Amino acid sequence: MHDKIYPVSDDWAKSAQIDEPTYRAMYQRSVEDPDGFWAEQAKRIDWITPFTKVKNTSFAPDNVSIKWFEDGALNVSANCVDRHLAKRAEQVAILWEGDNPTESRSITYRELSEQVNVFANVLKEMGAKKGDRITIYMPMIPETAFAMLACTRIGAVHSVVFGGFSPDSLAGRIEDCGSKLVITADEGLRAGKKIPLKANVDAALAKLGGDVKTLVVQRTFADIPMQNGRDVFYNDLAKTVSQHCEPEAMNAEDPLFILYTSGSTGKPKGVLHTTGGYLVYASLTHSKVFDYRDGDIYWCTADVGWVTGHSYIVYGPLSNGATTLMFEGVPSYPTNSRFWEVIDKHKVNIFYTAPTAIRALMQAGDEPVKKTSRASLRLLGSVGEPINPEAWEWYHRVVGDDRCPIVDTWWQTETGGILITPLPGAIAQKPGSATLPFFGVQPAIVDGEGKVLEGVAEGNLIITDSWPGQMRTVYGDHDRFVQTYFSTYKNAYFTGDGCRRDADGYYWITGRVDDVLNVSGHRMGTAEVESALVAHEHVSEAAVVGYPHDIKGQGIYAYVTLMAAVEPTDALRKELVAWVRMEIGPIASPDLIQFAPGLPKTRSGKIMRRILRKIAEGEFGNLGDTSTLADPAVVDDLVANRQNKR
């Protein structure tokens, strides 16, 4: 906890869309009269058929059902593109900054419209139609946004898979949602290195067999193998199709997209978002949380492979007619000044990034920041993991020159948009706190038994009523949806996060309370890394836990028991790291691997992760009761051979 308060400046209070009294009044209204409040807010979206019903939701364990605006019809691409043409056809919609600092592109709303119409017709030409699932495995280029919007135009459901995932992970995600089409690129480009996206798709499809087709956008124009009858170059088909595609009228509750995310058990879940509620929520939060004003240049540094990219690079900004910057590269390439140079180059006003990037750049010192101007910046944002107060202060002082408020936005893939955040003209900030709920969001803190705690409290974070951006189900597995989110606490959505509330009613997210890791703001299930490890021929058993990591927030610590007669060598350690990278992707690479002759288990065979976490954290004095272990001696070995933190 950090007591420092950064009050809202007079300037901000006067100029922002929402000041404190307005926030308080709107919040009150939003929870007392959700139907009235959201009916009004939904006017920011163009409806093909107006809705007459607003909220129809139940969190009751035997009847979890979430519907918003259920008899309305709309089209997302029409809202993100067509409707802006009358007023802002020549305004830049997507400002693209390449990996190479000499490359950039500006796409106006007129060009965006042309591109999305053609892309939609190309999808139709490939046989795609309303309701089909289409997997998008792309680098950070404007064509990725065109592809997403094209899907929404024809009513297809996209599933974007982060370009850093392995062929295996990609194959699982293609199979789970039954997509018959994968949109990819020849290669991606990051920090000067080529990423073999099409080759990864080939490897994924080789695992699946069947009749999945690919559509290949050319990014690097590499000479890649194309399979006749299965693979098509986007450019070849784009030349042949009509320039106009009528947007499909979609029911508000028709699926919009699936996004896979890690849980505490099993394989990643297909989080399903629907059309109307999601768009209203993404649009409203983008406008108010970032206080987006006409003409602002807005930059969210996320990858579109994550929910942040969906809601706050593509759908939120474009539905608001904003200029959204899309960055192909990384913060440290070619130098640690890259972010700040891009801000100066494009005169960025609003900048939204992750604590892990802030911490890494903070380690590089002030000089790479200070040699840039950043005079255009007005507002800073943080997302993805708890931000430690030191990093917050540095972001505020060095990057924002003590001038820009910071919105620390807490939310999840499941929530569709930001749930807890300061509004910059309304709420005083405290470094490390996500502060107060957005409109319509009713957080509560509960203890282990589910008792709601009032006032100053610490426990688990639940949300007691629905908001329009909430996920509707786990694709193909509604029982898992109910089980995961609505069975721990009665009549409430369980976030999986721990949280405390201070005397001012501010919320402080303390991190996951389940077996989900947050590594550099990327979500990773310990079970996924474990199952990758045990798939290696030399591994008999594995247990994975998180430990505090200076830059990544959490690092991945793996305890590995080898098969009998296998030598525990450094070479094998390296091989296992490479193995996990290959099985899941680089984001899942274990930071530390400890070879353990045995794991601490109860007599019934359950691994006691509590002990493993403590050892990984280096808290040996505090291991708790180990007498119930089947073999207490294994703990001594684990402590003696603990790997050093990096």
CA separation for the pair 474, 153 (Å, rounded): 23
CA separation for the pair 79, 412 (Å, rounded): 24
Under the binding rule (CB under 6 A), the answer on residue 104 touching ligand PRX is no
Kindly tell me the sign of the dihedral angle through the C-alpha atoms of 618, 621, 627, 632: positive
At how many degrees (to 10) do helices 167-177 and 197-208 cross?
Answer: 60
Beta bridge partners, 509, equal 499
Cβ(584)–Cβ(529) below 8 Å: yes
Under the binding rule (CB under 6 A), the answer on residue 552 touching ligand PRX is no
Q: How far is the CB of 276 from ligand PRX (least distance, A)?
A: 21
Q: How far is the CB of 449 from ligand PRX (least distance, A)?
A: 22
CA separation for the pair 47, 15 (Å, rounded): 30
Under the binding rule (CB under 6 A), the answer on residue 384 touching ligand PRX is yes
Closest CB to ligand PRX among 166 and 382? 382
For residues 461-500, which are near ligand PRX according to CB under 6 A? 495-497
Q: Residue count at the site for ligand PRX (CB under 6 A)?
A: 23
Cβ(111)–Cβ(146) below 8 Å: no
Cβ(539)–Cβ(563) below 8 Å: yes
DSSP 155-205: T-EEEE--TTS-HHHHHHHHHHHT-SEEEEES-EEETTEEE-HHHHHHHHH
The binder of ligand PRX chosen from 278, 339, 410, 494 (CB under 6 A): 410
Q: In degrees to the nearest 10, what's the CA dihedral of 482, 483, 487, 492?
A: -40
Q: How far is the CB of 273 from ligand PRX (least distance, A)?
A: 12
Closest CB to ligand PRX among 126 and 509? 509
CA separation for the pair 466, 65 (Å, rounded): 10
Q: How far is the CB of 64 from ligand PRX (least distance, A)?
A: 19
CA angle 600, 605, 611 (to 5 degrees): 25
Is 412 marked within a binding site? yes
CA angle 579, 581, 587 (to 5 degrees): 150
The binder of ligand PRX chosen from 261, 324, 488, 643 (CB under 6 A): 261
Is 173 marked within a binding site? no
> Would you state the structure tokens that stand for residue 446, as one six-digit string?
């509960």
Pairing relationship of beta strands 73-74 and 63-68 according to DSSP bridges: unpaired
Under the binding rule (CB under 6 A), the answer on residue 440 touching ligand PRX is no
Under the binding rule (CB under 6 A), the answer on residue 269 touching ligand PRX is no
The binder of ligand PRX chosen from 172, 270, 386, 437 (CB under 6 A): 386
Q: How far is the CB of 426 from ligand PRX (least distance, A)?
A: 18
Q: How far is the CB of 189 from ligand PRX (least distance, A)?
A: 24
CA separation for the pair 378, 198 (Å, rounded): 40
CA nearest neighbour of 477 among 330, 283, 258, 631 = 258
Kindly tell me the sign of the dihedral angle through the C-alpha atoms of 133, 134, 135, 136: negative
CA separation for the pair 323, 301 (Å, rounded): 14
The binder of ligand PRX chosen from 135, 320, 413, 488 (CB under 6 A): 413
Is 408 marked within a binding site? yes
Is 520 marked within a binding site? yes
Is 378 marked within a binding site? no
Under the binding rule (CB under 6 A), the answer on residue 408 touching ligand PRX is yes
Q: How far is the CB of 161 from ligand PRX (least distance, A)?
A: 14
Stretch that binds ligand PRX, among 47-55, 341-349, 381-389, 629-637 (CB under 6 A): 381-389
Which residue is at the shortest CB distance from ligand PRX? 413
The binder of ligand PRX chosen from 42, 140, 325, 383 (CB under 6 A): 383
CB atoms within 10 A of CB 447: 12
Closest CB to ligand PRX among 152 and 415? 415
Q: How far is the CB of 498 from ligand PRX (least distance, A)?
A: 9
Is 193 marked within a binding site? yes
Is 346 marked within a binding site? no
Stretch that binds ligand PRX, among 35-43, 243-251, 338-346, 383-391 (CB under 6 A): 383-391
> Would you state the structure tokens that stand for residue 341, as one six-digit string?
């140079």
Closest CB to ligand PRX among 255 and 355? 355
CB atoms within 10 A of CB 252: 27
For residues 498-527, which are near ligand PRX according to CB under 6 A? 509, 511-512, 518, 523
Under the binding rule (CB under 6 A), the answer on residue 308 touching ligand PRX is yes
CA separation for the pair 279, 437 (Å, rounded): 19
Amino acid, res. 80: C
Q: How far is the CB of 438 from ligand PRX (least distance, A)?
A: 12
Largest CA-CA distance found in the chain, in angstroms, rounded = 74
Closest CB to ligand PRX among 120 and 383? 383
Q: Which residues bind ligand PRX (CB under 6 A)?
A: 261, 307-308, 382-386, 408-413, 434, 495-497, 509, 511-512, 518, 523
Pick out the residues of the known binding site for CoA: 190-193, 308, 520, 581
Pick out the residues of the known binding site for ATP: 384-386, 408-413, 497, 512, 523
